[in-house]
Structure formats: C-alpha cells, structure tokens
Amino acid sequence: MITQGKWEAIETPFGFCISAGPACTAIAERYFDREPTATELNELHDNARLMAEAGTVYNVTGFTPRRLTEDRTGLLKTCKMALRAMNAQHTPSIISSAIIKIEQAIAKSEGA
C-alpha cells in the first residue's frame, strides 16, 4: 500500500527523508565517506523532491508517473491521428470515427 497524503523531501542528518505523514518512507543517502559537494547535495535534494512529487501525484491521481506518461502519449497520438483524418476528409463518418477514437482514449486514461 502506498503511503497516503502529500509527500515532502525533508533534510535530515542522514540525507533527505521522503516524508508522508509521521514517518520517513525512503532516504536519499548522503555520501557517508565524506561531506558532499554543493552540487552533490543539490542533486540529492532534487532527487528527494522528485520522489516526493511522484508519491504526491500518485495519491492525487491514483496513477503512477509511468501510467500518466503512457496515457499522455496515447491521448496525444489519438488526437493527432483524429485531427489528420478530419483534415483530410470532412465526411460525417470520418468525423464520427475520430470522435469515437478520442472518447475511447479518454476513457482509457480515466481508468474505464
């Protein structure tokens, strides 16, 4: 089960904690053999923020970032194809077919 709620990246003495509520769910580790450079520290923080954002997006949408990317790709492909078909032929059957394909892509994206 995925931790519910907004996720945040919080700096701790051990690195960056990915927090969702009272507990840290993951840690972006620091370099334990030495102090990280400013660039490395920024990278750790950016990675932690990205992980926190992915958790928050999942909780808001119910979809992983990968699923959202797949849905976006499918919707764009379908819409572009439908527009090309409608621009090539303005017949009612082509327009009706394009609308059906767009509706199917939207339904798939909504999880139907």
pLDDT digits (tens, 9 = 90+) for 48-79: 888 888 888 888 888 888 999 998 898 888 88
Tell me the whole-structure pTM to 2 decimals. 0.61
Q: Where are the beta strands (DSSP E) in 1-112?
A: 8-12, 15-20, 23-29
Closest CA to 51 of 85, 10, 112, 97: 10
Q: Domain residue spans in the chain?
A: 8-61, 65-109
Is the pLDDT score of 23 beyond 70? no
Q: What is the DSSP string of 36-105?
A: PPHHHHHHHHHHHHHHHHHHHHHHHHSS-HHHHHHHHHHHHHHHHHHHHHHHH---HHHHHHHHHHHHHH
